[in-house]
Amino acid sequence: MRPVEVDVRARDGAARTGVATTARGVYRTPCFMPVGTRGAIKFLSAADYERLGAEIVLGNTYHLMLRPGAAVVAHLGGLGAFAGWGGLTLTDSGGYQVFSLEPSVDDDGVTFRSTYDGSRHRFTPEGAVATQELLGADIQMVLDVCPPLPSPAAVVRTAVERTAAWAARAREAHTRPDQALFGIVQGGVDPALRAESAGRTVALGFDGYGIGGLSVGEPREQMLPALAAAIAELPDDRPRYLMGVGDPASLVEAVALGVDQFDCVLQTRLGRHGTALTEAGKLHVKNAAHARSDEPIDASCRCEVCARHSRGYLRHLFQVSEPTAARLVSLHNIAWTFQLVDAMRVAIEAGTFEALRRRVLAAWG
């Protein structure tokens, strides 16, 4: 494996900004990674990703291994070429989707049924690595056990034990030197378990480190101490990736603790239903109050949607069930999030991150 090394260029407290180097290219940190679950971000194309300035796009191992199949993606050049995307790619292990199906779990792996056709599948740590090697992303994630929250202490402890054991097996199974492999930290909202899981994962020597199983329903006042406990055990020269988190308040709070990268489906999920991210908080485009508005979604936003379209026009598109509406608000939400992350990098460099954090929390906290 080739470690993904983080060159930290500036710090403001624990918040940091820099450049992470993979075998095939670099990305700036903090970094927001939009999610292309089945090989595409919903309503967007690779040309959109490029125009928006994406640096990494995610694919979902669970969905891609079922449709069209990892071997098909490999035959067509790997995930990036398959999607026509020249930037970096990351595949999650599919564990979160598998565990949402309440599979049969044992110490060796999981057995589950496809959401597409009900067919039965077996997934192991080694199988997750082999599948992702075929998918060919620049970064792949180990298979972990993500317990629902709240869960009994014994369930969270078992998840930590299995995650550690499966991480060791994944580390041994990984063979592609051009593809980074990230370990994952679990432990629920228990800071002691988070620290233990992080220490055990670091001891295996991964290229970077994901922090999973947070922002799954727990209040932020429980999430942040658990996150801080994990980060304290992670090496300074490797990426720290908070998985599945993308709401603005959590982004600034996590960066304040030292997180480097994020992914989330929130931006496009909200966009599809007519909710836009703005400097003042959520804007519900479908509201009747916007019917005659010639204002953009957010006057401070530099995206192409805000430059061209009014709230009144976007509301009209939703009212007549025009699919373009979901596309445009999704484009805005991703662009707006990229702008927020850019602003965090600038603020860290300038030593003004705390002021930005307070401003975002005032609107989104």
The residues annotated as belonging to the active site are 92, 263
Is the pLDDT score of 1 beyond 70? no
Mean pLDDT is lowest, of 131-140, 209-218, 249-258, 307-316, for 209-218
How confident is the prediction for the chain on average, in pLDDT? Answer: 96
DSSP assignment, residue 351? T
Q: What is the pLDDT of residue 251?
A: 98
Sort 56 into a burial class: Cβ within 10 Å, 0-12 / 13-18 / 19+: buried
Structural domain boundaries in the chain? 5-264, 273-365
At residue 98 the predicted structure's pLDDT band, cuts being 50, 70 and 90, is confident
Alpha-carbon distance of 113 to 264, in angstroms, equals 25
Is-above-0.85 flag for pTM? yes
- Domain 5-264 fold is TIM Barrel (3.20.20)
**For range 11-22, the mean pLDDT:** 98
At residue 210 the predicted structure's pLDDT band, cuts being 50, 70 and 90, is very high
Under DSSP, is residue 19 helix (H, G, I), strand (E, B) or coil?
A: strand
Q: What is the pLDDT of residue 354?
A: 98
Q: What is the pLDDT of residue 245?
A: 97
Q: What is the pLDDT of residue 101?
A: 81
**For range 92-121, the mean pLDDT:** 88
| Beta-carbon contacts of residue 41 (< 8 Å; ≥ 6 apart) | 34, 35, 48, 49, 57, 268, 330, 334
pLDDT, tens digit, for every residue of 335-363? 999 999 999 999 999 999 999 999 999 99
pLDDT, tens digit, for every residue of 156-188? 999 999 999 999 999 999 999 999 999 999 999
**For range 248-270, the mean pLDDT:** 98
